[in-house]
A and B are shown apart, each in its own frame.
Chain A
Amino acid sequence: MTNPPSLQDAPKLRRAGRGGASHPLVELTLARFREFLREPEAVFWVFAFPVIMSCALGIAFRSRGNEPVIAGVADQAGADAIVAALEQRGEFTVRRIPPGEIERAIRDGRAPVVVIPGDPPSYTFDEARAESQVARLAVDAALQRAAGRADAFVPVNKPVSAVGSRYIDWLVPGLLGMNIMGTGLWGVGFAIVHARTKKLLKRLVATPMSKAHYLLANILSRLLYLALETSVIMGFAWLVFDVRIYGSLWALGALALFGALAFGGLGLLLASRARTIEAVSGLMNLVMLPMWVLSGIFFASTNFPDAMQPFIHALPLTALIDGLRGVVNEGRSLAELVPELGVMTAWGTISFALALKLFRWQ
């Protein structure tokens, strides 16, 4: 057997330094970052998922500008006259509905309103749906005019379709916020619980490694892909949907950073005691679910009753999304977003401090 170099030879080469390794904080951060990049599922959830989501929602809710109103007409005696009256205006897409299917047509979205010919005609529509009500008003106005009602005056219409006020403009910051929350919690929490179940944490504690370095490295590696994920999401929205950022990129970056720190801290806290992946998954869903619903990702959080608003505004995701919309849609500066930054800082600091105290290393 040939003799490999002995342990005694090596140190003579270079006594100082770390034998070719960098500072432990750098090594720990890089190790964590590499593990993340080599996990295809993680990469999908962080990058592909929000892009697919914004694509799907952007297409579903694309702004329809002057799209014609759909009007249904019960296909029975007298229908021809009404269809002619509506088509003459050029504002309607008219669909003839068999008389037996009127209510079903409203339910399944074929027509938001159905006119049943008669003297006077009757309108079947869904009171609870805005779209249905608007269609009823438009159809009524058209038929009244066709029957001879004169307008009292002719208003001047000034339609606005500015970039920045579409649903997609409003949605993208919400999706970005949701993603920062999800990757912060999963990215940090999962990795730690995984290392705990594999007894890797215990092994690390058996070295002179600083525990604070380990926890910090988990958050720092998370910040490395935060920059990537923010650029991918905003870049995609800009290229495909022409979503513009009205505020400064610095303000956007700062908000994303504060959000990532808040959720990174929360991720540490949730992972601080959990012994199994199942346990930590349950905890994370428990924490994320209320924010998915309340924090206004897909629809404005102002829809909830006033009594709930203080609670909603204390949630870190609400603060992050409100801040992101402020910068992206309204061009606000960081100085105007101090309350939001404060809420996120409080969540980050308190949860990091608690995590340090509660953390179970073995």
Chain B
Amino acid sequence: MLDDTERRVYHGYNWRVAPGSVALHCAGLVKRYGEVIAVNGLDLQVVRGECFGLLGPNGAGKTTTIEILEGLLTADAGEVTVLGRRWDRDAAALRPRLGIQLQETQLADKLTVHETLRMFRSFYPDGPEVDALLATVELGTKRDSWVSKLSGGQKQRLSVACALAGRPDLLFLDEPTTGLDPQSRRQLWAVLERFREAGGTILITTHYMDEAHALCDRVGIMDRGTLIALGTPRELVQSLGAEHVVEFAVTEGSVPSEAELAALPGVRDVRPAMSEAKGGPGPHSAESNGETHTSLSTSEVHLTIPALLDLLRRHDATLSLLGTHSATLEDVFVTLTGRQLRDD
């Protein structure tokens, strides 16, 4: 398996925008549902061989966007080119080259894994053997089980196997790991990594930050139907100008003013704590249980923390919480929108 460094060597940003290697291109995409504008003038380019992540909260327009790119919805305005072709002219030529996994599809409960995959495989003129596909997604032992007997993770892997049945050039995945336990997510990621190594291109939507970090070469952060940030995960985090987040809460004493906090060494940004401990849900408002939560973005934790402690001592404040984490895409989203990425 390629490590991070190697991946950057082979799929570095500059290499990926080389002309002629565009897998997916859309410009000025607009989709309205009555009064609601689901997608509002979206521009996007995905390069062959890359894994591109579309991030955003629920309702940001990710699913609408991906379904337009998949040719399942028609845009009200804008142009879409997939593998150099257009849906209105070349749908029949395009379909066999795409692998698609939809967010809400439930496969037939009373067919076995093998029967389901056989059916999907039969639609494609070219592709791997059914049993080889099953081995790829590690469902060989479940070959003759009914779909209804599979776990959530196994169902999602079967769903991805169906998407891989035609050996696609381009794989679309719409929140493939939502609701899965960490181990199932990792198993699915491994399948996607192998697809990547074999030269495949992936467009994936997710609202999991660690998923985007682990899988994607580039991510686009979507909010209210438009892209609000675009780049490699590292570039986006660096764009905060601060790679760490210090989060604290005080129970007693006076809270230092925002100006005092901003003056601490290394601090780039001060805000009521919106961020969360990585992975788990955090406080949603600046005040909960009578405590005041604050988060500081900083480039130098080792300077910020001692200064912060001194400042709090001067204010006679008692700490009830102090934590630090490396800045994540979650922090990028919070900084850009002032809102949480996940609303659950």
Cβ-defined partner of B198 (8 Å) among A4, A8, A30: A8
Question: CB-CB < 8 A to A31: which residues of B?
Answer: 108, 111, 115-116, 119
- Judged by a CB distance under 8 angstroms, whether B95 is at the interface is yes
Of residues 95 to 143 in B, which have CB atoms within 8 Å of A's CB atoms? 95-96, 98, 100, 102, 104-108, 110-111, 115-116, 118-133, 135-136, 138
Q: Is the CB of A206 within 8 A of B194?
A: no
Q: Is the CB of B111 within 8 A of A18?
A: no
Closest to A14 in B: B129
Closest to B127 in A: A19
Q: Is the CB of B121 within 8 A of A6?
A: no
Of residues 16 to 40 in A, which have CB atoms within 8 Å of B's CB atoms? 18-24, 26-28, 30-31, 34-35, 38-39
Closest to B190 in A: A1
Cβ-defined partner of A20 (8 Å) among B72, B108, B118, B164: B118
- Count of chain A to chain B residue pairs whose CB atoms are closer than 8 Å in the complex: 131
Q: Is the CB of A20 within 8 A of B121?
A: yes
> How many B residues are at the interface, by size bracket?
35 or more
Q: Is the CB of B92 within 8 A of A21?
A: no
Cβ-defined partner of B129 (8 Å) among A20, A38, A39, A205: A20
- Judged by a CB distance under 8 angstroms, whether A129 is at the interface is no
Distance in angstroms between the alpha carbons of A23 and B166 in the assembled complex: 14
- Chain A interfacial residues counted at CB < 8 A: 40
Distance in angstroms between the alpha carbons of A8 and B72 in the assembled complex: 28
Distance in angstroms between the alpha carbons of A146 and B11 in the assembled complex: 114
Q: Is the CB of A24 within 8 A of B122?
A: yes
Distance in angstroms between the alpha carbons of A329 and B124 in the assembled complex: 50
Question: CB-CB < 8 A to A130: which residues of B?
Answer: none
- Judged by a CB distance under 8 angstroms, whether A149 is at the interface is no
A35 to chain B minimum Cβ distance, whole angstroms, is 5
A42 to chain B minimum Cβ distance, whole angstroms, is 10
Distance in angstroms between the alpha carbons of A207 and B190 in the assembled complex: 24
* Residue with the greatest number of chain B CB neighbours at <10 A, chosen from A8, A13, A35, A206: A206
Q: Is the CB of A4 within 8 A of B138?
A: yes
Closest to A198 in B: B106
Distance in angstroms between the alpha carbons of A26 and B122 in the assembled complex: 9
Q: Is the CB of A199 within 8 A of B105?
A: yes
Q: Is the CB of A202 within 8 A of B198?
A: no
Distance in angstroms between the alpha carbons of A39 and B118 in the assembled complex: 21
Q: Is the CB of B105 within 8 A of A5?
A: no
Cβ-defined partner of B124 (8 Å) among A4, A195, A205, A207: A207
Cβ-defined partner of B105 (8 Å) among A14, A15, A35, A203: A203
Closest to B95 in A: A208
- Judged by a CB distance under 8 angstroms, whether B52 is at the interface is no
Question: CB-CB < 8 A to A198: which residues of B?
Answer: 105-106
Question: Given the interface contacts A31-B108, A198-B105, does A20 sit within 8 Å of B96 by beta carbon?
Answer: no
- Judged by a CB distance under 8 angstroms, whether B195 is at the interface is yes
Distance in angstroms between the alpha carbons of A8 and B129 in the assembled complex: 11
B150 to chain A minimum Cβ distance, whole angstroms, is 15
Question: Given the interface contacts A19-B129, A34-B111, does A5 sit within 8 Å of B72 by beta carbon?
Answer: no
Q: Is the CB of A18 within 8 A of B104?
A: no
Q: Is the CB of A21 within 8 A of B121?
A: yes
Q: Is the CB of A207 within 8 A of B120?
A: yes
B92 to chain A minimum Cβ distance, whole angstroms, is 7
Q: Is the CB of B110 within 8 A of A207?
A: no
Question: CB-CB < 8 A to A195: which residues of B?
Answer: 108
Question: Given the interface contacts A5-B135, A35-B110, A200-B106, does A27 sit within 8 Å of B72 by beta carbon?
Answer: no
Distance in angstroms between the alpha carbons of A23 and B121 in the assembled complex: 10
Q: Is the CB of A27 within 8 A of B130?
A: no
Q: Is the CB of B133 within 8 A of A10?
A: yes
Question: CB-CB < 8 A to A120: which residues of B?
Answer: none
Q: Is the CB of B92 within 8 A of A11?
A: no
Of residues 203 to 225 in A, which have CB atoms within 8 Å of B's CB atoms? 203, 205-209
Q: Is the CB of A9 within 8 A of B132?
A: yes
- Judged by a CB distance under 8 angstroms, whether A362 is at the interface is yes
Q: Is the CB of A39 within 8 A of B110?
A: yes
Q: Is the CB of A7 within 8 A of B136?
A: yes
Question: Given the interface contacts A39-B110, A205-B72, A206-B100, does A10 sit within 8 Å of B123 by beta carbon?
Answer: no
Q: Is the CB of A6 within 8 A of B136?
A: yes
Question: CB-CB < 8 A to B135: which residues of A?
Answer: 4-5
Question: CB-CB < 8 A to A15: which residues of B?
Answer: 126
Q: Is the CB of A19 within 8 A of B106?
A: no
Question: CB-CB < 8 A to A35: which residues of B?
Answer: 108, 110-111
* Residue with the greatest number of chain A CB neighbours at <10 A, chosen from B72, B98, B146: B72
Closest to B159 in A: A203
Distance in angstroms between the alpha carbons of A206 and B130 in the assembled complex: 19
Q: Is the CB of A10 within 8 A of B110?
A: no
Q: Is the CB of B131 within 8 A of A7?
A: no
Q: Is the CB of A18 within 8 A of B72?
A: no
Distance in angstroms between the alpha carbons of A7 and B166 in the assembled complex: 11
Distance in angstroms between the alpha carbons of A202 and B159 in the assembled complex: 13
Q: Is the CB of A202 within 8 A of B122?
A: no
- Judged by a CB distance under 8 angstroms, whether B207 is at the interface is no
Q: Is the CB of B105 within 8 A of A18?
A: no
Chain A residues close to B by CB (< 8 Å): 1, 4-11, 13-15, 18-24, 26-28, 30-31, 34-35, 38-39, 195, 198-200, 202-203, 205-209, 362
Known: A19-B133, A28-B122, A203-B100. 15 other contacts (CB 8 A): A4-B194, A6-B197, A10-B132, A21-B118, A21-B119, A24-B122, A26-B122, A31-B115, A31-B116, A35-B110, A200-B105, A202-B72, A206-B98, A208-B166, A362-B72
A-B complex: 4 closest residue pairs judged by Cβ atoms = A10-B128, A10-B132, A21-B122, A208-B95
A-B contact pairs, 21 of them (CB 8 A): A7-B133, A7-B164, A7-B195, A7-B200, A10-B132, A10-B136, A13-B132, A18-B124, A19-B121, A19-B129, A19-B130, A21-B118, A22-B122, A30-B115, A34-B110, A35-B110, A38-B110, A195-B108, A199-B106, A207-B95, A208-B124
